[in-house]
Each structure stands twice: as C-alpha cells, then as structure tokens.
C-alpha cells in the first residue's frame, strides 16, 4: 500500500464519523413552561424607510410593503446625516459627501407616517455635537469638478474631503484631505441642548404641530460619537468623551422634562473596536462601561432617568457565508469565539489577544446592573448593522437570527441599517407570525439549527421558527413539545429558501413564502430543513394535562385587566389556585414577587415605568403568564 493511498484511507476513516455526526437527527425541545419572556415589538424594525420630500412621496405600493411586513418601528435619524440636522430650517449636512448641505423635512416624514401607518413607531433623535446646519449656499459643485477634471471614477476625489464652505480639492489619487479645508462657520451654527430638544415643543407642544408623541417615543442620543474626529471633523473644536457625556446629560434632562415618557437611546457606539476602546487615554475604563458609569452616577445624583435603551452598532467585516451564519452569537453567547474580536482583548482591563468571546450585550447588561442596580429597567438595542453578502438567503437568515436572539435574551430594540434582498421576507415572517411571549427551545445542534419559539397570551397558539444555517446540508429535525399537547390536525408550515437575487417581498399575499402542511407524530413534528432555510410552524394546542395541573380551558379564563394599566391590575384566574404572583420585565428580570392567599379575583397595586411586562401566577405544580403594558 503506497503512502498516498495510506493517506487517502486514513483521511476517509477519520472523516467518516464527522460526516455521520453532521447527518444525525437534530432534536428541538419546545418547553412552554421554561423561562418564558415577553417579546418587545420593537425588535421588528428597520432604518431609512420614509420620504422627507413632499415632491417625492412614497407610493401606494411602498406603503403596502411597509404596513404588510408587520414592521413595528422605523428609525429615521439617518445616521451621520442626523448629527447636524436643523429642525427649524429643515436642513442637514452629509459628512460622507463633502459636507454638502441639503434640505430635509422631518415634519413631513413624521406627519405621513402617523397618517398612513399610525400603528408604527417612528424614531428620530437629538444632535449632541453643539452644531447644526444653517445654509445650503456654500456647497462645492462636485459635478462641475467631475466634468472639468475628466475623471473616470465617481466621485472624482475622496468624498471625505471637506469642500463645503469654500474648500479646494486635492486631486491626488487616494487623497483624503482637501488642499484647503472648507470654512464650516459659513454653513454651521451653534446648536445647544435647548435648541435640539425644541423639536419636542415643535411637534407635541400646545402651539406645535399636534403630532402624537406616543408614536414617536424612542429618540437617538445622536450617532457614533467615537468616530466624529473623522466623520464630523468640520465641527470645531472636537469633543472629548467627557464633553460628549456632558452634552448628553444636558439634553437628556431637558428632553425628560418636556416629555416624561420619552425613551432615550444611546450612545449608538460604532462597531466592535469602539464598544471597548474610545478616546483611550481620556477614559479610565472600557468606553461602554465608562459611559454607563457616568450616566448612572448622574442619574443617582439628579434623580432624573437619563437612559432607557443602551444602544450599539455592529458591522462584521467577513464576507464568508459560513462565518456570517454565526454573527448573531456576538451579542449574548458566552461560548462563541468571535474570529474578528479585537477590542474584546481589553475586556479584563489589559491587552489579551486570546480573548475571543465577545457577548457584548450580556456584558453590558452586567455593567448596567453593576452601576444602576438590579432594577434599572434599561433595555438593550442595536440600531445599525449590516453584512457583506450578496446571497439573499444569507441576508434573510442573518436578520432572522438576530431577531431570534433578541427574542430569547430580552432585547428591546433592533433596526438593521443595510437592507438587502431577503430581509423584507425575514421581517414579514417574524413580525407577522410570531406571538407575544418567547419560549426557550434548545437544539441538539445549536451551531447549525436554531429554534425561536413564541406563544400567545392564552397559551393555545404556538409558533416555532427553525433556521438551518448549514450552507450545504439538509437537516432532519424532530421538534418535541413537553408540557404542550398538540391538536389533532394538520398545521401550516411557511418556508423561505432558494431566494433569488431580485426582490420577492411585496405584500402579505405576494411574497416568497412556501406554504405546506405538516402533521404530528405522537406529540412531535418531524421535518427536513433545506440548507440555508427558515421554516415557521404555526401550531395549535394547550398545556398538557397529563403533566401539569388542571388547565384553564386553554387559558381563556385567566384574565388581567385593565391592559394597558397604570396603577393597578385585576387578576381573575378561574379555578386555578395560585399562591404566588410575579412581575418580570422584558430583560427577564424579576421586578416583583409576592406570596398570596388565593382569591378568584385579586387587585394588585403596581408602580412601574412605562413598558411591557409579564405577570406570572403559580403554585408548586403549575404556572400561567400574561403580558401587560404600563402606559
């Protein structure tokens, strides 16, 4: 036997168990009684959707697509273009395009959103650099430059050059800086905290435009401040980290005074390195931790709530599909070694390149508890993300996976920035079909197959979404349902797979979903998942009486009201004799726990910040949950 043949045989023998393992049946366990959490509706969001120009309104088809998708929140701050927005003059400046100043009408955008789709939240923001746009008269004629120089590329020079305000371009290939910097005093004006929050009076005040403030509750505290030295280097002098935080605090206090129920979202930290290290020598701690500590200290000193959602941005660099299929694990997964981890090397206070486990939002949750205390009621959000892929199936799975992880881990806000084919389909599948309470659904092959499950408040409708991340292998999967008895009927299955490169989603009825029927085997569902596919099972049933205590007629006789509530809730539990009441927030934190003597009707006084909560009643054998809103 020659050495080449020996090597071949050895390779085959070694690989055989691995191939066999990859073909093993995947087992999913959907336990309706395991760690239930309310799902924030605002994880179903996107950026940059509306028109800001009366002359270019969205079409009827546009509004159909938006509304039918089930999207719950639209972030319309426009990223870097929002930092120098002037709501009085309705104009802003584009730092990524020569600082060109342009007209933009937020009033028109919010008006059309509230008229056309009042069920959708709009998200705008405040400017914290201290400057805003005052004139469009000093723009550089880039098109004229292109014609005169006969350049073959567009733009003719780097769009990072500061040309507005009388700048002179450097035509040297690759030059980032202008030969002569534009004078930003010609097109920028001072914009202190009272100016930026004045938009609240303009929109919601007695003499304002009479917009509904409850439909514009979330506000960005500006955008990616860590990179302003590059993106906004026309703002002079440049802010230090502490100056930014001072501006943040002033603005937050004024905004809270004008709109007590406002949701302040910040600091919109820019990408992985900047979660950890920013203004290095000026901040004694990791940047996100330092920001949290400073805001917590001021909140304790002033008694004013200054942060409602901790927000970051994330743009992974890889274009490898197999790696992109794991990017959802960066936020919460403590076991995942992230290949692109860099700033995480500072996680222990020094520099250790062996640290590859990121779990940045889980770390942030620990920092929030450390500095604010255990009942801080501060959510977690990602308001910008995007991946480098032209594969619509990869795009759909990436988007669906992050929504799923936010379901499982109590995230409050998720709005991708980059938007590609496949993402409308994923949004529609999750936002239109998911129920309101998340159920933990572990998989025997979490790396390749995930399940994201949800149940309704009456506990008789269950949705299980299965994602096969393998780029080449179909996965035979068994879904088990301990504590939940499936009805004796066929169930609807909706699948996304083999998406083309052109857009397929147009409405709730015109899209790429493949509808079929699945049946149960005993109390399980057996299904084969195609490579790079998303499959949603829409199931009916009830708590399993052979395992749990007597049901409440599928939960229908367990009622809580009023909902939304303010200062009190009434609980009617039918014949279910509970002895404990608990209230849990969207992060899965226990807010209130009370041992009680059973009464068929109970009044429960409550004092909670506005938001979505889960009420749980239980005895030693069983429990039931309902979501409720404080408003």
Angstrom distance (rounded) from CA 463 to CA 476? 19
- Residue 432 reports pLDDT greater than 50: yes
If one looks up domain 3-35+442-537 in CATH, what number appears?
2.60.40.1180
Cα–Cα distances in angstroms (integers) from residue 602 to residues 182, 456, 553, 607, 631, in the given order: 68, 23, 20, 16, 21
CATH superfamily of 39-134+189-432: Glycosidases (3.20.20.80)
In this structure, how many other beta carbons lie within 10 angstroms of the beta carbon of residue 297? 12
- Average of per-residue pLDDT across 101-119: 98
**Average pLDDT estimate for 441-464:** 94
Q: How confident is the model at residue 317 (pLDDT cuts 50, 70, 90)?
A: very high
Q: Is 13 helix (H, G, I), strand (E, B) or coil?
A: helix
What pLDDT is stored for residue 359 in this prediction? 97
Q: How confident is the model at residue 548 (pLDDT cuts 50, 70, 90)?
A: very low
Q: What is the DSSP letter of 528?
A: E
Superfamily per CATH, domain 559-630: Immunoglobulins (2.60.40.10)
pLDDT tens digits, one per residue of 158-168: 999 999 999 99
β partners of residue 477: 26, 527
More confident residue, 546 or 466: 466
Show me where the domains of the chain are located: 3-35+442-537, 39-134+189-432, 139-182, 559-630
| pLDDT at residue 312, rounded to an integer | 98
- Angle in degrees, 0-180, between the axes of helices 287-302 and 241-258, rounded to the nearest 10: 40
Quote the pLDDT of residue 11: 37
| Phi, psi dihedral angles at 269 (to 5 degrees) | -65, 140
Torsion, Cα 357 359 365 367, to 10 degrees, reads: 30
* Residues forming beta bridges with residue 264, ordered by sequence position: 219
Tell me the average pLDDT across 18-26. 57
The one-character DSSP state at 146 is: H
CB 242 within 8 A of CB 298: no
Q: What are the b/e assignments for 196-221, b being 16+ CB within 10 Å?
A: bbbbbebbbeeeeeebeeeebbbbbb
The C-alpha torsion from 439 through 441 and 442 to 444, rounded to 10°, is 180
How much is the mean pLDDT over the chain? 91
Residue range 403-418: average pLDDT? 97
Q: Would you say how long the chain is, in residues?
A: 631
281 confidence band (pLDDT: 50, 70, 90): low
Tokens describing residue 118 = 């009042």
To which H or E segment does residue 392 belong?
helix 392-409
Query: In the structure, what pLDDT confidence band is assigned to residue 138 with cuts at 50, 70 and 90?
Result: very high
Say yes or no to pLDDT of 476 above 70. yes
**Higher pLDDT residue, 295 or 142?**
295
The pLDDT value given to residue 555: 42
* Residues 459-477, mean pLDDT to the nearest whole number: 95
Q: Do domains 3-35+442-537 and 559-630 have the same CATH topology?
A: yes
Q: Is the pLDDT of residue 14 over 60?
A: no
- pLDDT for residue 558 is more than 80: no
Per-residue pLDDT tens for 196-248? 999 999 999 999 999 999 999 999 999 999 999 999 999 998 899 999 999 99
Q: Tell me, yes or no, if the pTM score tops 0.95.
A: no
Write the secondary structure of 312-357 as one string of H (helix), E (strand) and C (coil). EEECCCCCCHHHHCCHHHHCCCCCCECCCCCHHHHCCCCCCCCCCE
Q: 3-state SS of 276-287?
A: HCCCHHHCCCCH
What 8-state DSSP symbol labels residue 77?
Answer: S
């Amino acid at each position: 036997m020659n050495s080449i043949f020996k090597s071949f045989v050895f390779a085959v023998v070694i690989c055989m168990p691995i191939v066999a393992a990859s073909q093993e049946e995947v087992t999913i366990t959907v336990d309706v009684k395991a760690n239930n959490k309310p799902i924030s509706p605002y994880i179903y969001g996107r950026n940059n959707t509306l028109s800001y120009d009366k002359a270019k309104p969205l079409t009827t088809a546009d509004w159909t697509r938006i509304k039918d998708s089930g999207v719950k929140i639209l972030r319309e701050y426009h990223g870097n273009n929002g930092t120098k927005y002037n709501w009085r003059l309705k104009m802003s400046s584009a730092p990524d395009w020569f600082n060109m100043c342009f007209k933009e009408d937020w009033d028109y955008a919010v008006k059309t959103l509230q008229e056309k789709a009042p069920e959708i939240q709009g998200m705008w923001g405040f400017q914290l650099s201290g400057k805003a746009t005052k004139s469009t008269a000093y723009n550089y004629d880039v098109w004229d430059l292109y014609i005169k120089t006969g350049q073959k590329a567009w733009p003719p020079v780097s769009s990072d050059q500061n040309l507005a305000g009388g700048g002179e371009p450097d035509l040297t290939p690759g030059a980032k800086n202008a030969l002569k910097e534009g004078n930003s005093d010609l097109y920028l004006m001072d914009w202190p905290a009272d100016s930026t929050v004045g938009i609240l009076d303009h929109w919601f005040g007695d003499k304002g435009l009479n917009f509904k403030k409850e439909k514009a509750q979330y506000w960005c505290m500006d955008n990616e401040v860590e990179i302003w030295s590059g993106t906004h280097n026309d703002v002079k002098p440049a802010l230090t980290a502490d100056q930014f935080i001072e501006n943040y605090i002033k603005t937050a206090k004024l905004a809270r005074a004008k709109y007590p129920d406002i949701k302040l979202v910040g600091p919109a930290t820019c990408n992985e390195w900047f979660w950890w290290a920013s203004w290095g020598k000026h901040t004694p701690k990791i940047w996100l931790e330092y920001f949290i500590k400073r805001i917590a200290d001021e909140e304790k000193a002033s008694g004013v709530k200054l942060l409602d959602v901790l927000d970051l941005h994330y743009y992974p660099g890889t274009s490898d599909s197999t790696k992109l299929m794991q990017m959802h694990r960066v936020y919460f997964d403590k076991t995942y070694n992230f290949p692109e981890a860099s700033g995480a090397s500072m996680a222990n206070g020094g520099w250790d390149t062996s640290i590859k486990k990121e779990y940045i939002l889980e770390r942030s949750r620990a920092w929030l508890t450390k500095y604010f205390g255990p009942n801080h009621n501060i959510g977690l959000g990602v308001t910008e993300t995007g991946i480098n892929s032209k594969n619509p199936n990869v795009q759909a799975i990436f988007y669906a996976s992050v929504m799923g992880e936010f379901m499982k881990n109590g995230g409050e806000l998720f709005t991708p920035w980059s938007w590609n084919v496949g993402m409308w389909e994923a949004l529609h599948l999750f936002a239109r079909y998911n129920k309101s309470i998340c159920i933990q659904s572990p998989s025997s092959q979490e790396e390749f197959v995930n399940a994201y499950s949800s149940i309704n408040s009456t506990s008789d409708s269950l949705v299980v979404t299965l994602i096969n991340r393998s780029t080449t292998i179909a996965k035979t999967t068994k879904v088990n349902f301990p504590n939940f008895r499936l009805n004796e009927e066929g169930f609807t299955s909706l699948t996304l797979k083999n998406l083309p490169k052109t857009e397929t989603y147009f409405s709730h009825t015109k899209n790429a979903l493949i509808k079929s029927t699945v049946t149960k085997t005993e109390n399980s569902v057996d299904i084969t998942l195609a490579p790079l596919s998303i499959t949603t099972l829409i199931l009916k049933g009830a708590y399993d009486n052979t395992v749990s205590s007597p049901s409440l007629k599928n939960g229908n006789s367990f009622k809580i009201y009023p909902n939304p509530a303010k200062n009190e809730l009434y609980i009617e539990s039918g014949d279910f004799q509970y002895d404990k009441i608990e209230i849990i927030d969207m992060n899965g934190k226990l807010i209130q726990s009370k041992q009680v003597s059973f009464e068929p009707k109970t009044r429960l006084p409550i004092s909670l910040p506005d938001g979505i909560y889960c009420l749980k009643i239980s005895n030693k054998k069983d429990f039931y949950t309902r979501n409720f809103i404080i408003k």
